[in-house]
Chain A
């Protein structure tokens, strides 16, 4: 079934560790996004990609990095996790058609850095 998958759902990790949040979609979408959301707050775009080997930073500055080597895969990496990185991270994808296409979201990864 065509969908967008995020793993893990929950992650608790110590300060200084390197982590990678996985996001994969089987919908054939060209556009993919990472949003960060603190509880009760708006979603902030931190990274987006319009295709393979294309990545851009979003509105919210983030120490994370992303890669897009394959259309279906858009992982997010933190080289050295800190407590300030504690948040929920949402991955999304959309068609690359003209105009604004609706976003399809994953279930999110809730990250806690101790």
Chain B
């Protein structure tokens, strides 16, 4: 069965500093990976997905199959990036869609 691990429950960085939110997964095949974000008082929403290879709000994430990781990175954190971030995995052909990690609460300090 697939599993997603986010080792950091809480992460604090100063404004302008680089930030990396870690995500590791266990799945033997080729999964699809996603990052979802929940800002304060807002609903959970998609941030980015690895197949799009896009940068959203300055965030990027690279799928590393060798290390089974999908870390989320931003070179210069902003205060508005403070939010809860969830990594999620979908196995091809899976009828049950997404498996979520437990989330990382990012706080960007002024």
| A residues in contact (CB < 8 Å) with B | 31, 33, 35, 40-45, 48, 50, 56, 58-59, 90, 94, 99-100, 102-108
Contacts and interface: CB of A to CB of B under 8 A. Distances in A.
Contacts of B45: 104-105
A48 B96 contact: yes
Contacts of A59: 96, 99
Given A40-B9, A102-B46, 7 more contacts: A31-B97, A42-B86, A45-B96, A102-B49, A103-B36, A103-B98, A108-B43
A45 B43 CA distance: 17
A41 B9 CA distance: 9
Chain B CB within 10 Å, residue with most, of A33, A56, A58, A100: A100
Contacts of A103: 36, 44, 46, 97-98
28 contacts: A35-B100, A40-B102, A40-B103, A41-B102, A42-B86, A42-B103, A43-B100, A44-B100, A45-B96, A45-B97, A45-B98, A45-B99, A48-B96, A48-B97, A50-B95, A56-B95, A58-B96, A100-B32, A100-B90, A100-B97, A102-B34, A102-B46, A103-B44, A104-B45, A105-B44, A105-B45, A106-B43, A108-B43
A110 B72 CA distance: 29
Interface residues of B, number: 21
Nearest to A43: B100
Interface of B: 4, 9, 32, 34, 36, 43-46, 49, 86, 90, 95-103
A9 to B, nearest CB: 11
A105 B9 CA distance: 22
Contacts of A40: 9, 102-103
Contacts of A35: 100
A90 B44 contact: yes
Contacts of B101: 42
A43 B6 CA distance: 13
A102 B50 CA distance: 12
B30 to A, nearest CB: 12
